[in-house]
Structure 1
Amino acid sequence: MVFGNGQKLSLSPENYLFWHSKVQGAYCLGIFQNGKDPTTPLGGIIVRNTLVSYDCQNQTIGFLKTNCSEPCERLHISGAPSFTSTFILI
């Protein structure tokens, strides 16, 4: 994904594909057109395993790719897939 200022955010398939609950081995694209509006709203699927920081004063958003399942693993709970950490400030 490329933002207006040229900053890039790399997305893993887990960030834009949904597992199809009725068709085994099938996935659905989780990004859709926004009607006649040329913008695309970003929903929860985009920020899976990502910490998002909002700096209203400086009008920036930061993304930190992380392993959100790590706390679950420490508690011996099955969780989300692992990802490496990368911080992108937009």
Structure 2
Amino acid sequence: MAKNIDVIVWSKQGCSYCDEVKTYLQQQGISYKTVDITHNDAFRDILEVKYGVRYVPVVEIGSNGVFKAVTEIGLEHLKAALAVDIPSHA
């Protein structure tokens, strides 16, 4: 069983990389919240301030209000971050 973590996926409509991330999380049984930046450039501004990027997907992983972000494109980066935060056996 996985630790209690929060996962937030910053994404936009029509983003194949975003869809790939969400599909992977669903397949792994990891629940997540989505922040859709499609029609809200202010959300891009938030990403730039927090992480120095204006693109999606960005996946925030954390607990108790403390998050780290996966900003690199590619599932291998997400898998590596989740391997640290979600052990395969608890």
| TM-score category (smaller protein) | under 0.3
Greater RCO structure (CA 8 Å; 6+ sep): 2
TM-score normalised per structure 1: 0.26
- Structure with higher Rg: it is 1
Which structure shows the higher helix fraction? 2
